[in-house]
Amino acid sequence: MTKTPVSRLILKLGMPTTISMLITSIYNMADTYFVGTLGESQQAATGILFALQAIIQGLAFMLGHGSGSFVAKSLADRDIKSASAYVSTAFFTGGLVGVVLGAVGLSLLSPLMYLLGSTKTILPYAKDYGMWVLIACPFMICSLILNNNLRYEGKAFYAMFGLTAGGILNIFGDYYLVAALDWGVYGAGLSTAVSQFISFLILLIFYFKKAQSSISPKYISKRFKTYLSICTVGFPSLIRQGLTAISGSLLNNLTKPFGDTAIDAMAVVNRYSNFVMCVGLGLGQGFQPVAAFNYEAKQYDRVKKGLIFTTCFGTVFVACLSLVSFLFADDIIRLLQSNAEVVSIGKTALRYAAVGLLFMPLSVPVNMLYQSIQKAGIASLLSTMRSGALLIPTLLIGVPLLGLTGVQLAQPISDALTGLASIPFTIHFLRKKQ
Q: Is 128 inside any structural domain?
A: yes
Greater model confidence, 290 or 30: 290
- The sign of the torsion formed by the CA atoms of 342, 348, 349, 350 equals positive
How far apart are the C-alpha atoms of 357 and 350, rounded to whole Å? 10
Range among 62-71, 103-112, 115-124, 150-159 rated most confident: 103-112
Task: Tell me if 71 is assigned to some domain.
Answer: yes
- In the predicted model, what is the mean pLDDT of residues 349-358? 95
Structurally, the chain folds into a number of domains equal to 1
For residue 35, the model assigns a pLDDT of: 81
Contact 349, 406 (CB under 8 A): no
What is the sign, positive or negative, of the torsion defined by CA atoms of 109, 113, 119, 125?
negative
pLDDT of residue 73: 85
pTM given for the model: 0.79
- Would you say residue 1 lies in a domain? no
Q: What is the mean pLDDT of residues 214-237?
A: 91
Q: How confident is the model at residue 1 (pLDDT cuts 50, 70, 90)?
A: low
Domain membership flag for residue 215: yes
pLDDT for the residue numbered 415: 93
Q: Radius of gyration of the chain from Cα atoms?
A: 21
- Which has more pLDDT, 239 or 81? 81
Residue 415 CA to residue 390 CA, distance in Å, equals 9
Say if 95 falls within a structural domain. Answer: yes
Distance of CA 357 to the CA centre of its chain: 15
User: What is the C-alpha separation between 362 and 316, in angstroms, rounded?
Assistant: 11
Residue 364 lies in a domain: yes
119-172 pLDDT, tens per residue? 899 999 999 999 999 999 999 999 999 998 998 888 888 988 888 888 888 889
Q: Nearest 5°: CA angle at 275, between 269 and 280?
A: 125
Which of 205, 251, 223 is CA-nearest to residue 349?
251
Structural domain harbouring 65:
6-431
Q: Which amino acid is at 157?
A: F
| Residue 75 belongs to some domain of the structure | yes
